[in-house]
Amino acid sequence: MSAHLEGRIQQLSVSRARSILYILAALVSLAGLADATYLTVLYLTGETALCGGSPDCFKVLGSGYAHIGRIPVAGFGVIGYFGVFSLATFAGFGYAGARRLFVWLIWAMFAVTLWFLFVQAVLLHAFCRYCLLSAAVVFLLTGLVVAGLSSD
Domain spanning 3-149 has what CATH number?
1.20.1440.130
| Residues 84-132 pLDDT 10s | 999 999 998 888 899 999 999 999 999 999 999 999 999 999 999 999 9
| Residues 37-94 pLDDT 10s | 999 999 999 888 888 777 888 899 999 999 999 999 999 999 999 999 999 999 988 8
Q: How far apart are CA 11 and CA 90, in angstroms?
A: 19
Question: What dihedral angle (degrees, nearest 10) is formed by the CA atoms of 82, 88, 91, 96?
Answer: 70
Question: What dihedral angle (degrees, nearest 10) is formed by the CA atoms of 74, 79, 81, 83?
Answer: -170
Alpha helix positions (H), 46-128: 55-61, 73-92, 96-118
Determine the average pLDDT of the residues in 2-14: 51
pTM value surpassing 0.85: yes
**Domain residue extents for the chain:** 3-149
